[in-house]
Structure 1
Amino acid sequence: MGKPCSSPVGNNARSKGYRTDTRNILAAHYKSKAQTARFCGHRIMAIEGMTGRMTPNELKELYMARVDPHLTHGCEISPDSDDVHVKQLSKVQLQFIRQMLNLHSRSAIAPLFTETGIIPLRVRRFLLVLSHLIYFLGLAKEHFARAALDSSIELSARNKTSWAKDLIHAATRLPFHCPAFVLTHSTSIEDVEDYGKTVKILLQEWFQVSINQNEKLYLLYGRLEPQKDKPPAYVASKMRHYLTMVKTQTHREALTSLLLSTHHLALEVLRYANHAHQPVARSDRLCRFCKVEVETPEHALVTCTSSSDLTELRSAFLAKLFHDAPHLANLMAQLSNTEFLKSMVYSRPTIALVAKFAFNVLELFYAVPVLRP
C-alpha cells in the first residue's frame, strides 16, 4: 500500500497562505504577498539596467500594474484590523516610491503620496473593501455572499469576531481620524458610498496638515495647481509637473531633493547627529561660501553672492528665465527669497530650466565640504 495522502484541503489552504495556528488566518498570505510585491518592485527597477532611468510617471504605471495588485490582493476578504500584517505591505510601497523619486529612508512620508498621486496603501485597501461591501449590499438576500455578509453583521452586533467587525475596526486604523463606521442590517449602499467620500476628503486634509506641520517641507506650503479655465487651486495629491516635465534625471532629482528637503545643504545635513557630530541649531547651519547666512535652498539659489562661479551661473540663469517668463522679474522684487523660489518652481513653462539651474547650483555647493561650527 502506498503512503496515505495528506489532506488536499490542508495542502490547498497552506499553499494559499491560510493557517489556523496563527491569530490571523491570513498572516502567511500577507507575508507572501509582501515578498512577491517586493520582488516585482526589484524587477521593475532592474529593467533600468537595459532601458536607462525611467521617469516617475513610467515607474508609477509599472507599479500600479505589477506591484499594487499584490499589495491589495485579498483585501476584500481581510480588512486590515491588525497593524502588524499590513505594515509589511506598506513598507514595500514606501520603499518603491522612495526609489522612484530617489529619496533616502528618512524622507518625509506624506510627500511620497502628494507628489505622485499614489494613495497610501492602508487607505487604498480600505476603500477597496468598501467597494466590495457596496457590491455585497446590492445582492439579493438569498445570494450566498449576501447571506454571509448578513451573518457577519449579526456576529458583529453580538461583539463576536467577524468580517464586519474587522471592517469596523479597520476604519479606526487609518492614518487619520475618521468618524465611526456603522455597519448594521439597515446600512445602505448610499451610507457606504458617503462614508467612502468622507474618507477621501479626510485623506486630502491629512495630506495638507502633514505638509503644513513639517518645517522641512516649507517649500510646499500654500502650493496651488493651475486649472484649465479656472484660477489655480489646491490639489492634495497628483503626479506633479516637475516629475513629468523635467526629462533629465539628474536635474529632476536635484529639484525634488530641494522641495522635499533631502538635499545635502547645511540646513538638512546638520539637522542630524553624524558619527561624532551632534545636531546643529538651525541658526548655526551656515553657508559654506559666505559663512554668514543659513545655507537653505533659497539662499543657495537666490541670495548667496560669495562665489564668483555661483553669481555667474545665477546671472545667466536669470537672464534666460526672465526672457522666457517676464512676470517672474517683477515677482523677484516683490517677494521674499523663499516665495520667489516657490514661484520659479511653480512656473510650468520654465520648470526644466529651473531644474537644470538647481542641479548646477547643488553641484557647486557639494564640491565644497559643509561648514560645521
Structure 2
Amino acid sequence: MIGTLPPREGIQLYMARVDPHLISGCEVALDVTSRLVKKLEKPQLRFLRRLLGLNPRSMRAVLFTETGLLPIRYRRAIIVLKHAKYWAHLTDDHYAHAAYMESLRLSSQGHVSWAADLRTVLGAFPIPVALPESALESAESIDAVISAVESSCEQTTQGELDRAARTYLLRKRLERDNNGNLRTVVLRFRNYLRIVSVPHRKAFTRFLLSDHSLSVEALRHTDRYRKYKIPRVWRLCRFCQMEVEDETHAALVCTGHPELSPLRADFLRDVFALRPALQSLVLTQPAEDFLACLLLDQAVTSRMARYVFNVLQIYETREMWVPPEHFNLIG
C-alpha cells in the first residue's frame, strides 16, 4: 500500500482485496494449528497498522477496537459456524447435510472429524468457547455459539486494553449503541478516523493509542545505542524534568516550553466555547480523566486533533531526556 488512505475507504479496500484471501477455504481447512494461523494474522496486522499510521510495535488490540474489524482467527471461526448453520438447515436429501451429520456422529464417538477440529479451534481461544455435542445440530444452537465466539473476542480484546498501562485513556470510553444507550462498545469504527486533515488524524490516533514519540512510549524499549531498560518513573519530560512525559503531562500540565501555555490556553478557550459543560470538569476531575473526556468527545475531536498535532510538534523540537544507566537502580 503506497501513500495514505482515508481509514473508511482503506477498510473497504481491505475487505474487497485482502480479506477474501485470508478467509479462503476456512470452512474446510480449520485453524487447528496456531503456527499456521499466525501466517494469516501477519498481513492483517500489517495492513491495519499501515492504514492507521501505527508502528510495528503498537498494540494489537487497538487495531480492532478502533476499526471494528474482527481478528482473523475469530472471523474465520464465525464463517465456519455460519456454514455449519447452513448445512444443518438443509434437508436430508442433500449430500452436504449428510456429510455434516456424519461428521457430528464421528465426533460424538471420539473419532477424528471436522466437528472435532471445530471444537479444538473454539477451545484454543484465549477465552475458550465450549462446544457441546448438541450445539451444532440446529440453526438456533449454532447462533448461540456464534454469539459466544463474538463475546469471547470482545472480552479478550477489552481485557488487553484494561490490563495495559499505555491504553489508560480508552478504559472509560462510553458510546451510544444501536439503541441509543451509553455503554462500552468494544469493536467499532471510531468517529475520529473521519478527521479530514491527515497529519491531524494520524497525530490524534497515535496520541490516543499510545504510539507516539513522547518519552513514556519512546523509552519503553531498548535500542541500538541504549541497551538498558528505563523504568517508567524515569521517563521524565524533556522540558521540565518534573514528571513522566506522558500524554496527560504533555497536553495539560507541562509549562517547560514557552509555547505550550499559550497554545493550551487558546485550545481550552475554543473547547469551552464548543462544550461549556467541560468547564466544570477541568476543576473537578483529575487531569488524566479530563484528557480522556476531551479525546473521546466527538464535538471537539477536530479541534483536539489540531492541538495534539501542535503539542507533539513542539516536543519534536528537542531530544528526549535519557537518564544514564545507573538510574536504572531505582524504579
2:223 maps to 1:279: no
Deviation at 1:228, TM superposition (A): 7.4
Report if the CA contact (8 A) 1:97-1:112 is conserved: yes
Match of 1:177 in 2: 128
Q: 1:303-324 deviations in whole A, cap 9, x for unaligned?
A: 0111111112111111111112
Report if the CA contact (8 A) 1:56-1:101 is conserved: yes
Partner residue of 1:306 out of 235, 256, 259: 256
Match of 1:265 in 2: 214
- Provide the C-alpha distance between the structure 2 equivalents of 1:280 and 1:84, rounded to a whole number of angstroms: 33
- Provide the C-alpha distance between the structure 2 equivalents of 1:354 and 1:186, rounded to a whole number of angstroms: 49
Match of 1:370 in 2: 320
TM-score (norm 1): 0.83
Report if the CA contact (8 A) 2:208-2:295 is conserved: no
2:88 maps to 1:103: no
2:203 maps to 1:254: yes
Matches for 1:1-373 after TM superposition, within 5 Å: 45-46=1-2, 48=3, 53-179=4-130, 181-183=131-133, 187-226=137-176, 230-244=180-194, 246-277=195-226, 278-373=228-323
One-letter code aligned to 2:205:
T
Report if the CA contact (8 A) 2:64-2:187 is conserved: yes
Report if the CA contact (8 A) 1:168-1:183 is conserved: no
Structure 2 segments unaligned to the other structure (5+ residues): 324-331
CA RMSD in angstroms comes to: 1.7
How many residue pairs end up in the alignment? 322
Higher relative contact order (CA 8 A, sep 6+): 2
2:182 match: secondary structure: strand
- Provide the C-alpha distance between the structure 1 equivalents of 2:128 and 2:48, rounded to a whole number of angstroms: 24
Report if the CA contact (8 A) 1:289-1:306 is conserved: yes
- Provide the C-alpha distance between the structure 1 equivalents of 2:299 and 2:143, rounded to a whole number of angstroms: 39
Structure 1 segments unaligned to the other structure (5+ residues): 1-44
Distance 1:154-1:313 versus aligned 2 partners, 3 A rule: same
Q: 1:14-53 deviations in whole A, cap 9, x for unaligned?
A: xxxxxxxxxxxxxxxxxxxxxxxxxxxxxxx23x4xxxx3
Give % identity: 36
Which protein is bigger by CA-based radius of gyration?
1
- Provide the C-alpha distance between the structure 2 equivalents of 1:69 and 1:319, rounded to a whole number of angstroms: 48
TM-score (norm 2): 0.93
